[in-house]
Structure formats: C-alpha cells, structure tokens
Structure 1
Amino acid sequence: EDAMTLMKDNGCFSCHAIASKKAAPAFAGIGKRNKRFEGENARYVIINSIKNGSKGKYPHFSDMEMPSYTNFSQEELETIADFILAQSSKAKGHGGNCGGGKGQGRGMGMMGGMR
C-alpha cells in the first residue's frame, strides 16, 4: 500500500496533518527535523517513533503522547518514513502559525521553537 493509505487507515491524520499543526506536529516539520540525520538514520528515527511511540520530542507538543504502532510490516514502516521525510520541503520553519507564519513566533510552530 502507499503511505497515504496506510496512514489514513491507521488514524495518523487524526492527530497529524501534512503541513499544518493539529494535536501533533505536522509531517513536514517531522520530516524537516529528522533530515538532520544522514540517510538510513533519519528513516530509523522515524520508524522507531512509529513502532515504540513518542513523547516529548517537540516542546509545543510535550503533553501529547503518540502510541506505539506495532501492526506495520518493516516495508510499510519504510514507506511511511520515506513519505514523512519527503514532506520536509513543505515545512514552514520555526514560526509556523504563530506570528503570521513568517517565523516571528517562538515555540508555537511546527518545529516548536527548536533550533
């Protein structure tokens, strides 16, 4: 299956969106943040978060906890991780929606004030 189908079928879009924040960070921001790791390491970090859950990685979302998703095959995890990493070009930067989306906001955007 393709990433969008896998993610829709498993409720990922209940909390995440592609390029805007919801209850959890946008996939574009997650992709941008994890691009700092080289190749397979970037993919591994995302896969690890999906398999084991995640909490506290993004300051603005520190109270949110993503549950673990152990139902995906390794191939499905790689498909999803590659999709998320590919969204990094859609990230709006540090400001996100705060400050008019022009980067003036602090701690409210997709990157949650991360530097």
Structure 2
Amino acid sequence: MRMNILIAALALAAAGSACALDIQLPPETAAYKPSELPGYQLVQRNCMTCHAAQYASSQPSASPRAYWEATVKKMKKPFGAQFADADVPAMVDYLVKTYGAERGAAATVAAAVKPAAAVAAPSTNGKDAKTLLAENGCMACHALAQRVIGPGFAEVAARYKGKDGGAAVAAHIRQGGSGKWGAVPMPPFSQLSEADAAVLAKYVLSR
C-alpha cells in the first residue's frame, strides 16, 4: 500500500514538472508623469533602476511631503539606492506635487513636453569617462565584466564588435529604454551632452 502511494506521488511530481511554464514578463512600459519640476529628471534617472513607475502612482494620493521624504530616504538607506543627498529635496518636491497631497501646486506638462532625447543638454566641460561614470551613478547598475542590473560593459562591447556602434550606444545612454538587454528599463540620461555620451560610449565599447 505504501509503495503504491509513493509511486502515485512520484507520478504526480513528474507530471507537475513536465507542465512547468517558463513565464516571460513583458518589458516595462510605465513612465513617470512629465513635469517641468527639476525632480522629474532625477526621479527618472534614480528610481527606475530599481522599480517600476507604478510604485509612485500606487501610493496614497493624500500622502504629505513628510511621507514622500521618508520614502525617498528609505530607498537610499537602508535599500542602498545610488543617488546624492542633494537630489532628495527636488525628488520629493516632484513626487508630492505629482502624486501626493500637493498635486496641482505645480503644473505638470502633458504630451506637449519635448521627449528627453530632444532637449538640449548642457556640456559638462569635457570630463573623462571615469568622472562621468561616477557622477551619473553608472556603476550602480553596470560593471566592467559581469551583469549587475544591466549588462556588463564587456557584454555590450561584444555585441557591437566589428560594428560602428558608438552612435547607437551614445543615443541609448541619453534616451534610455527597455527591451534591448532585458525587461528592466534603463532611465534616460538626457542631462548628458552628446559629446559626453559619446565619451561614455567609447569607453564601454573599448572593454
């Protein structure tokens, strides 16, 4: 009797494993609401590396400024988000005025806002690649060789080996996007000038 039960259990386990599904999640498409507030670009750059934009829209709409400040600071410590303390006030201001209790205190720009890639970015005075990597928190999601949140630089260089990929990589740095290297989106770094994005692209492709 025990043997029959054991055989039946093994058969069910085998059947279950044979029916296992390999589920592929769709690429992230949600975006933060466009705004002229300085914190909009900071939130895009600093928050989407770890979670989707729905996180902000799912918070209580009556949440006061103190709630958003505590939430942003929580992301930095203990969760380890890589952004400067100086970014916190602008990020909080955008979040509370766009998703929280101060909605309507500042006008959000609708579809008329130019895409991030089309906005002229200021020059950063010809900084070298390592300085640009540090200032923009690139190494929070990338490493030279291994995959972290995004691909390692060596993996990117291997994909473009033998091709002139500098312009494509530089454009992707400034525009961001998802689907090229997995479902986790890369936020846009439109604050970089085209020249500085080209410096970073050259560095990545030289690995």
Task: Give the TM-score normalised by the residue count of structure 2.
Answer: 0.38
Aligned with 2:187 (options 61, 67, 88):
67
Q: Which residue of 2 aligns with 1:25?
A: 151
> When the two structures are aligned, how many residues end up with a matched partner?
81
Alignment of 1:33-44 (within 5 A): 33-38=159-164, 42-44=165-167
CA displacement 1:19-54 (0-9 Å, x = unmatched): 11111100111111122423xxx1111011111102
Higher relative contact order, chain-length normalized (CA < 8 Å, sep 6+): 1
Where do 4+ consecutive residues of structure 1 move more than 4 Å?
Answer: none
Would you say the 8 A contact 1:34–1:45 is kept in 2?
no
Q: Which residue of 2 aligns with 1:80?
A: 200
Aligned counterparts of 1:51 and 1:85: Cα–Cα separation in 2:
16
Aligned counterparts of 1:66 and 1:43: Cα–Cα separation in 2:
17
AA at the equivalent of 1:56: G
Unmatched segments (≥5 aa) in structure 1 = 88-115
Aligned counterparts of 2:188 and 2:162: Cα–Cα separation in 1:
23
Q: Which residue of 1 aligns with 2:180?
A: 57
Task: Give the TM-score normalised by the residue count of structure 1.
Answer: 0.66
Aligned counterparts of 1:35 and 1:72: Cα–Cα separation in 2:
25
AA at the equivalent of 1:69: F
Would you say the 8 A contact 2:145–2:155 is kept in 1?
yes
Unmatched segments (≥5 aa) in structure 2 = 1-126
Aligned with 2:135 (options 9, 16, 25):
9
Aligned counterparts of 1:4 and 1:36: Cα–Cα separation in 2:
24
Would you say the 8 A contact 2:171–2:197 is kept in 1?
no
AA at the equivalent of 2:170: I
Task: Give the greater-gyration-radius structure (CA).
Answer: 2
Q: Percent identity between the aligned chains?
A: 31
